[in-house]
Chain A
Amino acid sequence: MTDPAMTGPATTGPATADEIVRIEGLTKTYGAVRAVDDVSLSIPRGAFLTLLGASGSGKTTILMSIAGFVQPSAGRIVVAGRDITHVPANKRGLGMVFQGYALFPHMSVGDNVGFPLRVRGGKRAVDRDRVAQALALVQMDHLIDRMPDALSGGQQQRVALARALVFNPAILLLDEPLSALDKKLRADLQWELKELHHKIGTTFIYVTHDQDEALSMSDNIVILRDGRIEQSGAPGTLYHRPASRFVADFLGKSNFIPGTAAPDPSGGITVTTRGGQLLSKALADDEAAPAGPCLMALRPENITVTHTPLEGHNTVEGTITGVSFFGADHQIMIETPALGPVTARSHALRGAVAPDTGARVCVNWRPGDWRAVADR
């Protein structure tokens, strides 16, 4: 269930006005390994697009193909209407931030940031003001004379950003730029990056394996699996409408319930679980009705745990087998005859029942709050 505005077939139709990058049928093979397998994407100007996938799913290979360091085995890359598939990296005019920062170790912060200006117009083209401005963008202008090895990881990453942005590239490529930082700093920098993107309007193409990072920062996410696009779309769309078991499990967590679907006279669907219980499923406007054997995905946070069945909900009974406390909420493991083991998440203070192990409880969710997904 791919968002048609985001990806499309590998056609060579005219570019839409606000499209800045188009990738058509990109494939890269290393011997028998298909690192990237027939990937097509259209990226709107000014977007924050994230390539999200587990390690080895082909994210870096796609980014390096755009940057010009990987020569595709097949396919085209078009930037601003120009086919750059065979243009050398140093003629593409893209900004890039590398995973290990890759600052020039023998140059000061100012010289690092001035480098893109220097290669374009010689030493005299290095405008101190522009360098200072770029550094101010990332709150690093006070360290302009430091050497890189006298900076912390977060500071180095900021300098790398300023260096990639100083010549106003239309596109900024970022390969897991925050993965080497500790959790707290990472969260801060996520905010800053998002704000920066908002402020300067440059198109960001961002690579990460961290789903939370992808969800919190991106306008669009492309989920990659074994070199192929599994699903793409806005974070909310992907989260609430995962097309497959893989996506539902990769973004957040899900309970998966196998069953058999049949149309319901009222317009919805009836799902019969393995345990024989009849449950109802309401369809969203654009949602296809499952028929026959199906796999239903149910998010833990959509479950309400109570002592008595809730009105207008699907309800199954079960026994609490375990509880984990996470500060803001509880994770409750419940064994149900109808569905097998189910995980629920409930707010620590607003939970309807005290989550005591061994307690008999009702598991409730609205008919619209679960979804049929492809079993792959």
Chain B
Amino acid sequence: MMRSQTAPYWWLVVPALAALGVFYLYPVAQVLWLSVTEPAPGLGNYTTLYESQTVRNVIWRTTWISLVTTVFTVTLGYVVAYALAQVGRRTLVIMLFAVLMTLWLSVLIRAFSWVVLLQTNGLVNQALIAIGLIDRPLPLLRNELGVIIGMVHFMLPLAILPMYANMSGLDRRVMQAADVLGARSWQAFWWVWFPMSRPGIIVATLLVFVFSLGFFVTPAILGGGRVMMLSEYISFQFQETLRWGQATMLASTLLLGVLAVLAVATRFIDMKRLFGARG
């Protein structure tokens, strides 16, 4: 019977489920609970969402920085994933190693490296002045541009890997069919390759956007406190102003926002298929 076949294996995931419950679900429940009880029971905390201009600004800024980051990351990542899918084995190993290496570097190291590169007399400004493109240093740090540059860099592997996984699974004979049937290379790309790579694009987009919404370290360092995104604002509320009710309310809002994005996405796409559960 089905039951007796599968039942023993459930025990294998029990430790993982227990860990999830203790270290994840419990704190999340706590956060949700605090957001409606601190300082007084009720939805009082949530009224700031439309009453406070500051909170609205933070949410709006978080959303659009995340959107811009997603667009740039997925576009650049697509190019890299496409290259990965085309090159020979040896080049592939080197390129994949380069992509994964950025994942292995600490996010702090990466953010501070960008500070070094982007500061007023940093390498980027010096180079641009040296080749005569500009004559005064550009402000690349402590603004939204700096934050977006750092975030795009951080998110790139997250976009490249799912898109590469999708592309490497595409049937090459389908591309050969397009070719032999007379398609020019741009036709073969836009009419055949690109539509077939759409599932990878969707996964990458969701992943990067959801990650960006809650991103903390890079915006905090490259924004220098002037580009306050949601996570940094929440941390500020927890640690500086000690308004736990406000902080947990914003954290809950972020969580619900992410769930809403995923819910909308599932309405349009088959999640199980995207993540390889079937098909």
> A residues bordering B, Cβ < 8 Å?
67-69, 89-96, 98-100, 102-106, 115-116, 118-120, 163-164, 167, 173
Contact = CB atoms under 8 A, between A and B. Distances in A.
A94 B180 contact: yes
Interface residues of B, number: 20
A67 B192 contact: no
Contact of A102 (B171, B182, B183): B171
B195 A115 contact: no
B5 to A, nearest CB: 29
Contacts of B182: 90-91, 93, 116, 119-120, 167
B174 A119 contact: no
A116 B179 CA distance: 10
Interface in B184-219: 184-185, 187-188, 191-192, 195-196, 198
Contacts of A98: 173, 176-177
B19 interface: no
B181 interface: yes
A119 B180 contact: no
Nearest to A96: B180
A321 B265 CA distance: 71
A49 to B, nearest CB: 18
A89 B185 CA distance: 11
Interface of B: 171, 173-174, 176-185, 187-188, 191-192, 195-196, 198
Contacts of B179: 68-69, 89-90
Nearest to A164: B181
Given A89-B179, A116-B182, A106 B196 contact: yes
A89 B180 contact: yes
B181 A100 contact: no
A164 B178 CA distance: 10
A361 B86 CA distance: 66
A89 B176 contact: yes
Nearest to B182: A119
Contacts of A93: 182
20 contacts: A68-B179, A68-B180, A69-B180, A93-B182, A98-B176, A102-B176, A103-B177, A105-B174, A105-B196, A106-B195, A106-B196, A115-B181, A115-B191, A116-B182, A119-B181, A119-B184, A120-B182, A163-B177, A164-B181, A173-B180
Contacts of A94: 180
A30 to B, nearest CB: 14
A351 to B, nearest CB: 49
Give 8 nearest A-B pairs by CB, closest first. A102-B173, A102-B177, A116-B181, A119-B183, A106-B195, A96-B180, A89-B179, A98-B173
Contacts of A163: 177, 181
Contacts of A173: 180
Contacts of A103: 174, 177
Contacts of A96: 176-177, 180-181
B24 to A, nearest CB: 37
Contacts of B174: 102-105
A90 B195 contact: no
A67 B187 CA distance: 19
Given A104-B192, A106-B195, A90 B177 contact: no
Given A104-B178, A163-B177, 11 more contacts: A69-B180, A90-B179, A90-B182, A103-B174, A104-B177, A104-B192, A106-B195, A119-B181, A119-B182, A119-B183, A119-B184
A90 B188 CA distance: 10
A241 B103 CA distance: 67
A347 to B, nearest CB: 44
Contacts of B180: 67-69, 89-90, 92, 94-96, 173
A170 B183 CA distance: 18
Pick from B180, B182, B184, B191 the residue with the most CB of A within 10 Å: B180
Contacts of A104: 174, 177-178, 192, 196
A21 B192 CA distance: 30
A27 B171 CA distance: 27
B67 to A, nearest CB: 26
Contacts of A99: 173
A235 B7 CA distance: 59
A124 B16 CA distance: 57
Contacts of A120: 182
